Structure 1
Amino acid sequence: MPRASSAATAGTCLAIPHSDSDAIDWLPTDPPFTTARLLGARQGLLIITCPHRGRRRHRSGERSILTWAAAYDTAGPEQRSRVGHEAWLALQTTPVLRLDSATPLMDSVAAVQAALR
């Protein structure tokens, strides 16, 4: 199963505190994301790695986030969507750094590091 985002991987490379939901949901396999952790194991990891608010969001948000994500590129202003985010980005007066999961990870990390200088 493909990743929805590479933010956690970039967070690891940049040594930024984060919680990687893939590390909680999936067993480490080669290739990755082929074997889900059992519910009890996921809950245990969640308790260890996430603050209470994050655990609550993780439990209730799994189904709804997949529905939202499926419509992100085509939805209009009725929900958080690409259209809404692009409109918001166009109003920003500070630099915006665009990262794309199709870009090699280390290129994204280098772009973040350059922007932080």
Structure 2
Amino acid sequence: MRSRRIHVTGASGSGATTLGRALADALALPHHDTDDYFWKPTTPPYREQREVGERLRLMREMFLPRADWVLSGGLGRWGDELIPNFDLVAFLRTPHELRMRRLRAREATHFGEDAVGPGGWRYEETAAFMEWASHYEDGTREGRSLARQEAWLAKLPCPVLRLDGSRPIAELVAEVRCALNG
């Protein structure tokens, strides 16, 4: 039986984690998200990054040796060691305005509307994150950008499935399943 090691990626707010979870559920595979390896568990979250070596060590221990899994999220250059493990990469492109609406809603759901609003304890961090995420398409901020992701995708030895992140998740899952069976 052929392995199913799938990486789902895109900009913040593209729907990569949502698709990754749905795909893992549909295929009865374990789901992992890069944020769980990138960030140390802190309260509040997203305050302290793990060292690259620690991220990769945890991934090697948690899921990389297994035949089947779904990994969602961005890897940047720090995750190039993982490339030989991918059987398929699903890349989501989602319109800017939709991404930003999703991110605002996600922040409010995760931390609370009052926390991310003006005067809230998470307001400054949320504003900085939204500002950073808003520059994905133009690439004028450090970190993930469309140009950097396109360059990364171009060097992958596995198939890359390009998907419209504004489409319903069920349709996207069906398209990935079809690509896996093709």
**Normalised by the size of structure 2, how large is the TM-score?**
0.36
Structure 1 residue 17, shift from structure 2 partner: 3.6
Structure 1 residue 82, shift from structure 2 partner: 0.8
Whole-Å Cα distance in 2 between the matches of residues 105 and 38 of structure 1?
A: 29
Whole-Å Cα distance in 2 between the matches of residues 64 and 77 of structure 1?
A: 11
1:9 paired residue number: 18
1:26 paired residue number: 109
Q: How does 1:55-94 map to 2 (within 5 A)?
A: 62-75=126-139, 79-94=143-158
Structure 1 residue 103, shift from structure 2 partner: 2.2
> 1:52-102: per-residue Cα shift (whole Å, max 9, x none)?
xxxxxxxx9644431221111112585431111112211222111222212
Kindly indicate whether structure 1 or structure 2 has the higher relative contact order, using CA contacts under 8 Å at least 6 residues apart. Answer: 2
Could you tell me which of 76, 80, 104 is aligned with 2:168?
Answer: 104
> 1:29-67: per-residue Cα shift (whole Å, max 9, x none)?
xxxxxxx4555xxxxxxxxxxxxxxxxxxxx96444312
Runs of 5+ consecutive residues of structure 2 not aligned to the other structure: 1-11, 34-102, 116-123
For residue 69 of structure 1, what is the amino acid of its counterpart? Answer: A
Whole-Å Cα distance in 2 between the matches of residues 23 and 75 of structure 1?
A: 22
Instruction: Tell me the secondary structure at the aligned position of residue 26 of structure 1.
Output: helix
Instruction: Tell me the secondary structure at the aligned position of residue 97 of structure 1.
Output: strand
Whole-Å Cα distance in 2 between the matches of residues 76 and 5 of structure 1?
A: 18
2:177 paired residue number: 113
Structure 1 residue 26, shift from structure 2 partner: 2.2
Structure with greater strand percent: 2
Whole-Å Cα distance in 2 between the matches of residues 98 and 6 of structure 1?
A: 13
**Normalised by the size of structure 1, how large is the TM-score?**
0.51
Runs of 5+ consecutive residues of structure 1 not aligned to the other structure: 28-35, 40-59
Instruction: Tell me the secondary structure at the aligned position of residue 13 of structure 1.
Output: helix
Whole-Å Cα distance in 2 between the matches of residues 23 and 80 of structure 1?
A: 19
- Tell me the number of residue pairs that the alignment of Structure 1 and Structure 2 aligns: 88
Q: Cα RMSD between the aligned structures?
A: 3.9
